[in-house]
Amino acid sequence: MATSDAPTAAEAARIVAASVRERLPRNWKTVEALEPDRGTARPDLEITVEAPDGRTARLVVEIKQVLERRDVGRVTDQSRSMTTGHTDVPVVAARYLTPSVREALAEQGLSYVDATGNIRVVIDAPAVFISESGEDRDPWRKGRPRGTLKGEPAARVTRALLDYRRDWSVRELVAASGSSTGAAYRVLDYLEREGLVVKKLTRYRVTDWERLLRAWSADAAFQTTTRTMAFIEPRGVESFLRNLAEDSTFPVAVTGSMAAREWATYAPAKAAYVYVSSIQEASEQWGLRPNAAAPNVILLEPKTVGDVPFVNTVRAEAGYPVAAPPHVAADLLNGPGREPAEGDYLIEWMKANEERWRRE
């Protein structure tokens, strides 16, 4: 729900015009026309940009109060339909554009501007590139937040959607994920608005599991969802993993590089990241020594995602339990150093071997 001080369409048009005008060099000229008379293909705003050498381009602006990620394709077609020449540049504007909407517009080759200062305008000739960041949340929206993938309910639903390749009813998703019915509906509503799931009659389907995985990883980094402590195993990490394979009286799941090498080895791993239900219990049982300077074992104790890291674990070739590939990939994307590149590498393996990790 927007508040009464949110900019109107006319105010948004003035903000867009000023945003472009103020970011061009002083010897460039702009001429703005609100709802120019161009027949049936009439944009909300038209801005003619003139370079010092006389070359011009025309920004054809479509203004939306609210734009969801799922509507980007339709708006892209609408915006391009209003261009009439090779110098016309389609631009989408709104009071606020979410990061995922901005990303989708850029992927479609569209320029965009919002009233919080997010702007990306690209003109080939005369050459113009304007890019600035504004807000990452809608300052005019009140009431319940529009949603994220943070927290245990979202983690449960997301992992089920990633782990299984199928269409879902809400009842089936609740049973498979262990979430509440209300949480499942809230997460699905958010994912539908983000274009990450589509609903046909009463069933839901993931549209792009890679984008869903990356969105969840961005919202729920393991550094914010777990308590972590670093340790040293004097006999080495491989000795530690052999002991891990023998017996454990509590839930365990290896993640990070040590886990990823089961499917897609990127480079030798120097430390083992391990989910445990209790850091104190695990470190005492395994005889680990705290060592923040040069650790080879990092224990992760879930604090906001419940038992999700232990769902659908698999056995490594050496016998120790490994977190499911989506969870490992999400953790790597948030890791230090080369680990994000390892996450990308694992995702490429997952794309080529979907039948080996997604369940039916």
Is residue 251 in a domain? yes
Q: Say if residue 14 is in the same domain as residue 71.
A: yes
Answer yes or no: are the C-beta atoms of 89 and 43 closer than 8 Å. Answer: no
Q: Which residue has the tokens 């897609």?
A: 264
pLDDT in tens, 303-325: 999 999 999 999 999 999 999 99
Q: Which domain does 90 fall in, by range?
A: 9-132
Specify the number of domains making up the chain: 3
pLDDT band, very low/low/confident/very high, at 1 (cuts 50, 70, 90)? very low
Q: Say if residue 25 is in the same domain as residue 47.
A: yes
| Percent composition of the chain: helix, strand, coil (DSSP 3-state, to 5) | 40, 25, 40
Predicted local confidence at residue 37, as pLDDT: 61
Is residue 137 in a domain? no
Q: Of 219, 251, 278, which residue is a domain's last? A: 219
Beta-carbon contacts of 137 under 8 Å, excluding residues fewer than 6 positions away, are none
Q: Say if residue 100 is in the same domain as residue 128.
A: yes
Task: For 151, list phi and psi in degrees, rounded to 5.
Answer: 95, 165
For residues 97 and 135, give the distance between their C-alpha atoms in angstroms, rounded to a whole number.
9
pLDDT in tens, 153-200: 999 999 999 999 999 999 999 999 999 999 999 999 999 999 999 999
Q: What is the CATH number of the domain that holds 180?
A: 1.10.10.10
Is residue 86 in a domain? yes
**DSSP 8-state code for residue 8:** P
Give the pairing of strands 226-232 and 203-206: unpaired
Structure tokens at 217: 């990883």
Answer yes or no: are the C-beta atoms of 144 and 154 closer than 8 Å. Answer: no
Q: Say if residue 229 is in the same domain as residue 348.
A: yes
List, in sequence order, every residue forming a beta bridge with 38; answer none if it has no partner.
40
Is residue 138 in a domain? no
Q: Say if residue 211 is in the same domain as residue 309.
A: no
Structure tokens at 34: 């609100």
**206: number of Cβ within 10 Å:** 22
Q: Of 185, 219, 253, which residue is a domain's last? A: 219
Is residue 147 in a domain? no
Mean local confidence (pLDDT), 198-206: 94
Task: For 252, list phi and psi in degrees, rounded to 5.
Answer: -140, 145
What is the maximum alpha-carbon separation in the chain? 78
pLDDT in tens, 206-220: 999 999 999 999 999
For residues 114 and 135, give the distance between their C-alpha atoms in angstroms, rounded to a whole number.
9
For residues 57 and 241, give the distance between their C-alpha atoms in angstroms, rounded to a whole number.
62
* pLDDT above 50 for 92: yes
SS3 call for 173: helix
Q: Say if residue 183 is in the same domain as residue 156.
A: yes
Is residue 145 in a domain? no
Is residue 146 in a domain? no
Is residue 45 in a domain? yes
Q: Say if residue 121 is in the same domain as residue 206.
A: no
pLDDT in tens, 240-293: 999 898 877 789 999 999 999 999 988 888 899 999 999 999 999 999 999 999
Q: Say if residue 252 is in the same domain as residue 329.
A: yes
For residues 132 and 198, give the distance between their C-alpha atoms in angstroms, rounded to a whole number.
32
Q: Say if residue 55 is in the same domain as residue 112.
A: yes
Q: Say if residue 119 is in the same domain as residue 161.
A: no
Instruction: Give which of 51, 13, 9 is closest to 30, Cα–Cα.
Output: 51
Asked which of 9-13, 66-70, 123-127 is least confident by mean pLDDT, the reply is 9-13
Q: Say if residue 46 is in the same domain as residue 167.
A: no
Q: Say if residue 234 is in the same domain as residue 324.
A: yes
- Report the b/e string of 143-165 with b at 16+ CB within 10 A: eeeeeebbbbbbbbbbbbbbbbe
pLDDT band, very low/low/confident/very high, at 63 (cuts 50, 70, 90)? very high
Predicted local confidence at residue 101, as pLDDT: 93
Task: Please confirm whether the linkage preceding 126 is cis (ω < 30° from 0).
Answer: yes
Q: Which residue has the tokens 């504004």?
A: 134
